[in-house]
Amino acid sequence: MGPQSERNYRPHVQVNRTAVGGVPAMRSQTVRGEPCTEFDKRRCENKMILGSLNNWKQDRKFAHPALADVLDRLEKIPFRELENGKHPVRGEDIFFTIMELEAKDPAEAKAEKHERYIDVHFLLEGAETVGWSVDNGKSAVTEHSPEGDYTLFEPAAEEERLRLTPGMYAVFFPEDIHRPGLRSEGGEAASPIRKAVFKISTALFEKA
């Protein structure tokens, strides 16, 4: 499969089209199409999660406590009142960074993945496209920093594009290669985005 054009498509995701507010509810699934419920209480292939706060309450029962703690906070934190930058939640185990950026041309963006932290990307303002693919060991590495907890890659040929609107979140596990901050195909250059990116230590999942 070649690079995907921007479209109303979610890879390996079950869509509930009756979601409140017109934002579909989404649950992670495996590449085999089997529902990945209890997704973060056991090892489950292809664990990326794309969801909406509109449906979080009904999906909460499936979540690991550490992830549930973060997603519960998305409705409670006064993001509009907070300055950009790093904000602690539970020391270095859980923290988030508020950032403002201009959506990038996909041709100019590298993909990334992390080992020590799970990412939760929560869109506050604007429209964001995120490239996503599973780490199959074949993606070309361009930079690796154990200290910074990131590895950069050239975009995978099988990369899918996820479209986020305000109130939606995407969860990326260590197996998930992702390219955040992309503009939509045909979208305006330098379109502004404001988002919060939470970091959850993978050690919290190992303790549960």
Instruction: Give a yes or no: residue 103 inside a domain.
Output: yes
**pLDDT (mean) for 38-65:** 73
Number of CB atoms found within 10 A of residue 29's CB: 23
Give the contacts of 58 (CB within 8 A, at least 6 positions apart): 25
Instruction: Give a yes or no: residue 15 inside a domain.
Output: no
Instruction: Give a yes or no: residue 27 inside a domain.
Output: no
Task: Examine the pLDDT at 35 and tell me if it is beyond 80.
Answer: no
Confidence of residue 67 (pLDDT cuts 50, 70, 90): very high
Instruction: Give a yes or no: residue 84 inside a domain.
Output: no
Structural domain harbouring 151? 49-79+92-204
Instruction: Give a yes or no: residue 128 inside a domain.
Output: yes
Domain count, the chain: 1
CB environment 111-145: b (16+ within 10 A), e (fewer): bbbbeebbbbbbbbebbbbbbbbbbeeebeeeeee
What CATH number is attached to the domain comprising 112? Answer: 2.60.120.370
Instruction: Give a yes or no: residue 10 inside a domain.
Output: no
Give the chain's mean pLDDT. 79
Instruction: Give a yes or no: residue 4 inside a domain.
Output: no
